[in-house]
Chains A and B, each alone.
Chain A
């Protein structure tokens, strides 16, 4: 089955700096790659996703890149703010009803 690796496990950045989180996946059939933000005591919330027919997607301060050949994808947050502090999970999914498989998460701390 699919296996998703995520790095780093923790990341601290100064407010205003950029943050990058990287993930790799194992199943070349995976074609959907969402990123979730989880705040303390809450469920994961989708922040951005990308499909395998696209190499990059941007939404304001958040961007995601996908390299299908290397089977890795990354989340980029620019101009970080304290409210960006949370745990971020990458995930991968194949077609049909294959389950979404999550990475282990990255705890991002933005220091004011």
Chain B
């Protein structure tokens, strides 16, 4: 598609429950990025993929967070045993690569996760 699609738009989970978020990148874009936007607008990079391969996972809290981008499927971000501090808006972005590196990143509308 021509836009990055994210589902669901809103997700409510009780503390300790699992949360799974999905992202369909723009067709033809080989890079996918996940960011977490917490209170006061602060963005935190979580993980990026080049096609189905993890490209950079330096931002991931590995003990509870995992992510995948499998061929012919939406990418996913999963949080096992959610905590209150996981409440945030999770954005997915995609980008295509060029000779000089990557082009700009295009963002999806986000998934708002509320942990109660």
Are A and B subunits of one complex? Answer: no
